[in-house]
Structure 1
């Protein structure tokens, strides 16, 4: 079901593509091991009218951690320059299907902007269906944006450590299972292996169908149940650096579990400090 606050289909987007208050963002971002250039991919082909949202650049460059959420002033400035502002319905997609787009969905939610949806299946589905693309960026006009930061949608390391100790939240980890149990190395050098004590493994790709669309709400509920996730508890979504964690947040929203937040520092932070406890093996 199309929901312009969470997830919309390619059919929905094509039907609304010429709406004057629609804005489309290409939020592609890839891990180094994926060996793909998101900006080059955008320049080669993007959905008509799409602007490129640079997750690494539109971030807090004062932090040593990767692509932490941008300060309000920087976010508003970048969005205004991209012609994205008040009164707009935003649809965000990526070149992988669904991978990094939910991160930008969360970024907007963090700023109090609710009228944003992820494109189900992303650019690969759009292209596979023979829909139009272009290779020239649009010429945006400034648009005023009013934001109100929603602090409850983000957790810092102290809050996560407290939740881990008390067990009063479900900590859900989107990294591949081999990294979660401490069997596989982290892609970032110098990080310990394992997971936050008490966390449960929800690998990001387990949330998707074979065609990179998100599983149905019923299938997502079954997935959470199989992982013994207690949806009566508030959830904290985590991953390697705060990107794929947002996929869990989107999935939770799709099943009606609205009491969630995202650990922005993620394993890039937790795995760096020896004074933070870690767990390995089966959760």
Structure 2
């Protein structure tokens, strides 16, 4: 299944009752996306709260939920593991990729992101609703795919492997260490051997760039069909955009480092940190 679906195709599925729609909007600045969902959302869409549907036990921001937490949350949205699910966000393409990745982590393969998000839906002339209708809860059975995530100790052991590549989705200045991190208590810089691939480089007009352009971008970073890619960012949200883009070009050897820089960059850890200008395409 392709990573994205356009608004016309989603509307057709919606009219036939063959899709479950999820608003996966989230913002780093703390904007109340649940409130905005209440003001306007795609008909039948349910709100996926990235902060609430997470694992708070690590102390890190919005870590992936346990299978039990995920199953309860999406079951309450009326979603079954066999449903075709489409995720969108209000920005076009930002946090929807994280929700897409979370569904896939739980073994849900029939999931896509709306190309261009809510802005594309509205631009196509399709309706939005306010409020939230009553939904009958169902049972959801997850089938976790733990090979789609990597934790810090495993990542430390893999750094520098010739057949692996760590791609960092943060803005280039944060990767270089020339700009501070937005979260307190974090060092500036990047993991040794990692490469900068700002998530914005993969997006145009609120959607992934065409497949040929994406292939050229990853080719410049020496990503081959045999390369195991590890994606990282500030806290695991935009790292999922890289994962989404790789899925779109048919590259499935991808693991997401969920702790990302919120964990690796902590001042109280002895993880190695490099400060340099090692931008996209550099060796």
Measured against the shorter chain, the TM-score band is: over 0.9
Residue 98 of structure 2 corresponds to 103
Residue 221 of structure 1 corresponds to 215
Which structure 1 residue ranges, 4+ long, deviate > 6 Å from structure 2? none
SS at match of 2:212: helix
Q: Which moved more, 1:12-21 or 1:254-263?
A: 12-21
Paired residues of 2:163 and 2:226 also in contact (CA < 8 A): no
Give the TM-score taking structure 2 as reference length.
0.94
Paired residues of 2:199 and 2:238 also in contact (CA < 8 A): yes
Following superposition, the deviation at residue 20 of structure 1 comes to 2.8
Q: 1:251 aligns with which of 240, 245, 256?
A: 245
| Structure 1 residues without counterparts, runs of 5 or longer | none
Residue 4 of structure 2 corresponds to 7
Which whole-Å CA distance do the structure 2 matches of 1:56 and 1:215 have between them?
Answer: 28
Which whole-Å CA distance do the structure 2 matches of 1:138 and 1:107 have between them?
Answer: 24
**2:160 counterpart of 1:133:** no
| Alignment: residue pair count | 277
Following superposition, the deviation at residue 230 of structure 1 comes to 4.2
Residue 233 of structure 1 corresponds to 227
Which whole-Å CA distance do the structure 2 matches of 1:95 and 1:240 have between them?
Answer: 20
| Structure 2 residues without counterparts, runs of 5 or longer | 279-283
Following superposition, the deviation at residue 265 of structure 1 comes to 0.3
SS at match of 1:198: coil
Note the alpha carbon deviations across 1:157-205, whole angstroms, 9 max, x for none: 0111112143431101110111011011101011000011111111011
C-alpha RMSD over aligned residues: 1.4
Residue 176 of structure 1 corresponds to 171
Give the TM-score taking structure 1 as reference length.
0.94
CA separation of 1:139 and 1:18: change in aligned 2, threshold 3 A: farther
